[in-house]
Chains A and B, each alone.
Chain A
Amino acid sequence: MTEALQAMGSVLFDPYLIVLIFFTTILGVVIGVLPGLGATTGAALLLPFTLTMEPVHAIAVLATLYVSATFAGSITAILINTPGTSAAAATTFDGYPLAQRGEAGRALGIAVVSSTVGGIFSIIVLCIAAPLLARVAYEFRPPEYFALTLFGLSMLASISAGGAVKNLIGGVFGVWLATIGAEKSTSIERFMFGNYELYEGLSFVPVMIGLFALSELLIQSRRAHEIVNRIGMKAVKLPTREDYKRIWQTILRSCGIGTFIGILPAEGATVASMIGYSEARRWSKNKEEFGKGSIEGIAGAEAANNAATGGAMVPTMVLGIPGSGTTAIILVGLMVHGLRPGPYLFTEQVDTVYQIFGAMLLANVMFLFMGLYAAKGFARISLVPTALLWPIVFSLSIIGAYALNSSMLDVWIAVIFGVIGFFARRLGFAVAPIAVGLILGEMVEINLQNSLKMFDGAWWMIFTQPLAALFLVMAFLGLCGPYIFQKIMGRGEK
């Protein structure tokens, strides 16, 4: 524990890292403020710039961007009724009405404080839970890992966008994408169509850039000529003692909800903020204020979405299963920099892991001050014309896709996945399941193969392993539980 605290504290003695975190926090807030450019798109665009950095600096940069952009989505949610990130969608319900009443500064103050508390709480949980989970995961063998990845994939059914079936189709498509290239144990080429650049499989980075950044560009092109109205604001106000009395319970509840939702594989800040908001409403004594500018509504959503950031890092780092779209990119970052996500990370790279946690903690403190003292300035950035902003995103995407392998094929992969992602989203499919499926695909297949070898081809033996069976039951319940529950409730009502 002392070693861990020392590693976390060492962040404060690394001036280069502090400067990196400072500028990345600013960048994250800018990205979060710009509608359409959320944490996931931002991380996808930033990933190529981290290639030449030290692993700990690179992941700290991505993690800092994650927490700061998640918070900053609330600025535009409150001032222009457009969430900068999907995680801030619930903040618009009460943030914008409060701003319309001339209390934009108060709304932002509550959002900043709630986000900071949520973020710091989840990192404390991350520091405690991650090593404990790593100790359990240390004992996992192929059957347990196979069942766990299936559980992770089954959770895709319940992510916010798209329906359960559509999300699962996206996840299966992603897993299939992972089969492109030479099969690991036999070297038999699959779906390469004679293109030997695909021998090692599809590179994650261009696929992520295509799915998240370029598809978003095409989505934004539909709104290119829309004009937004921004509500004016004098200054951000810290919550008063009366405000704190009303929101402290909501913040604490949302901290717990957000962290728990974040830990669940494939669930992210968006789901957390929606549940945080609805629970704040359920437990509130002033339910009638919700939707009209309730400060509890803002606190509930904002504490939950930032608490989910730390929570989502738990399965990402301990199990190699991303907790959200952005953590999928952070996971890719870990792999690109030669860090093997999983329990071994906590025995072989303890310093690196805790320095990353320390960087996230520092980022939370930094965006508290930026939110309080510079939100007004950041809000102006939201007025950057889309006609100038998105062409820049295009060029960043193209160069970013090229940079990892210096390959033009990667550029075309990004472009193709940009178009696929756009049409998928227009047809109601979310792109995050495709990304998560691609990342987990190899893990699923290899662990299934190894399990079969372990049990001499008797696949049913996987069910006889207690932990594996538990994960498979959880996956089944995750997929069918809501339907079974609905049926039972339906009968009960009849």
Chain B
Amino acid sequence: MNIRIYLVPLFIALFSVVIIVLSLRLDVSPPMIVGDSMQPRVFPIFLMILNLILAAILALQHRKTPPKAQEWENFTTWGTILLLLPFYYLATHVDLFIAIAVVIFAMSLLWGEKRWWAALLLALVTPSLLFLLFDSVLRIRFPRGLFTNWWYS
């Protein structure tokens, strides 16, 4: 038996069961508030039961017609996803705009830009323009960080 073809339906089923368990732990509202309607836990449970049925149908479909094996993601894709980790760290601990600039620079090089100065220019100009537009024109305040502290002070 090829387990691989059942991985997606299994994941969906597992997710649905977890949500059902979490739903059962939700608070119950007094009958005088709910009246003839339903408790807040009922709707998510109903949805997840529906998802379990759909996951079973999907598993049957996969048994009948196995899905094509997916190609493994390439280095660029994994690299782009992994870039989100330093982005999270820099955005929460240093500055949102510095985080964006670093990711733009690294992403450009990762995606095949050979002119490092073009990537650097893009990394400096894009966040700066966006910051000026949103800060000055749209009047949006950005979270405090190294750069925004300097700007706002």
Report A's interface with B, CB cutoff 8 A: 49, 51-52, 163, 165-166, 168-169, 172-173, 175-176, 179, 183, 185-186, 188-191, 217-218, 221-222, 224-225, 385-388, 390-392, 394-396, 398-399, 402-403, 406, 408, 411-412, 415, 419, 422, 426-428, 445, 448-450, 452-453, 455-457
Asked if A428 and B84 make an inter-chain contact with CB atoms under 8 angstroms apart, the answer reads no
Asked if B113 and A388 make an inter-chain contact with CB atoms under 8 angstroms apart, the answer reads yes
Q: List 27 A-B contacts (CB under 8 A).
A: A51-B138, A52-B137, A165-B58, A166-B58, A168-B54, A172-B50, A172-B54, A173-B51, A179-B44, A185-B37, A186-B29, A188-B26, A189-B27, A190-B44, A221-B74, A221-B111, A224-B110, A225-B111, A387-B108, A387-B111, A394-B100, A406-B141, A415-B84, A427-B8, A449-B37, A449-B38, A453-B36
How many inter-chain residue pairs (CB < 8 Å) link A and B?
A: 161
Q: How far apart are the CA atoms of A186 and B34 in the complex, in Å?
A: 7
Contact of A176 among B47, B70, B137 (CB under 8 A): B47
Q: How far apart are the CA atoms of A223 and B14 in the complex, in Å?
A: 32
Query: B122: nearest residue on chain A (CB-CB)?
Result: A388
Report B's interface with A, CB cutoff 8 A: 8, 12, 19, 22-23, 26-27, 29, 33-38, 40-41, 43-44, 47-48, 50-51, 54-55, 57-58, 61, 67, 70, 73-74, 76-77, 80-81, 84, 87-88, 91-92, 96, 100, 103-104, 107-113, 118-119, 122-123, 126-127, 130, 134, 137-143
Which residues of A have CB within 8 Å of B23?
190
Contact of A392 among B50, B61, B126 (CB under 8 A): B126
Closest CB-CB distance, B71 to chain A, in whole Å?
A: 9
Asked if B142 and A402 make an inter-chain contact with CB atoms under 8 angstroms apart, the answer reads yes
Do A395 and B33 form a contact, CB below 8 Å, given A52-B138, A218-B81, A408-B143? Answer: no
Which residues of A have CB within 8 Å of B41?
190
- CB-based closest 6 A-B pairs: A457-B36, A387-B113, A387-B111, A183-B40, A186-B29, A391-B104
Q: How far apart are the CA atoms of A319 and B78 in the complex, in Å?
A: 41
Q: Which of B40, B70, B113 has the most CB of A within 10 A?
A: B40
Asked if A190 and B96 make an inter-chain contact with CB atoms under 8 angstroms apart, the answer reads no
Do A391 and B8 form a contact, CB below 8 Å, given A185-B37, A396-B130, A453-B37? Answer: no
Q: How far apart are the CA atoms of A175 and B43 in the complex, in Å?
A: 10
Asked if B29 and A188 make an inter-chain contact with CB atoms under 8 angstroms apart, the answer reads yes
Q: How far apart are the CA atoms of A457 and B31 in the complex, in Å?
A: 12
Which residues of B have CB within 8 Å of A225?
76, 111-112
Closest CB-CB distance, A385 to chain B, in whole Å?
A: 7
Query: A185: nearest residue on chain B (CB-CB)?
Result: B37
Asked if B130 and A391 make an inter-chain contact with CB atoms under 8 angstroms apart, the answer reads no
Asked if A391 and B126 make an inter-chain contact with CB atoms under 8 angstroms apart, the answer reads yes
Asked if B100 and A395 make an inter-chain contact with CB atoms under 8 angstroms apart, the answer reads yes
Q: How far apart are the CA atoms of A175 and B130 in the complex, in Å?
A: 33
Contact of B48 among A163, A176, A452 (CB under 8 A): A176
Contact of B138 among A49, A188, A396 (CB under 8 A): A49
Closest CB-CB distance, A270 to chain B, in whole Å?
A: 21
Query: B137: nearest residue on chain A (CB-CB)?
Result: A52
Asked if B33 and A185 make an inter-chain contact with CB atoms under 8 angstroms apart, the answer reads yes
Asked if A186 and B81 make an inter-chain contact with CB atoms under 8 angstroms apart, the answer reads no
Which residues of B have CB within 8 Å of A51?
138
Asked if B138 and A403 make an inter-chain contact with CB atoms under 8 angstroms apart, the answer reads yes
Asked if A445 and B54 make an inter-chain contact with CB atoms under 8 angstroms apart, the answer reads no
Beyond known contacts A388-B119, A406-B142: 7 more, CB 8 A cutoff: A385-B112, A387-B108, A387-B109, A387-B119, A395-B126, A399-B100, A403-B140
Asked if B138 and A394 make an inter-chain contact with CB atoms under 8 angstroms apart, the answer reads no
Query: A50: nearest residue on chain B (CB-CB)?
Result: B138
Q: How far apart are the CA atoms of A218 and B77 in the complex, in Å?
A: 6
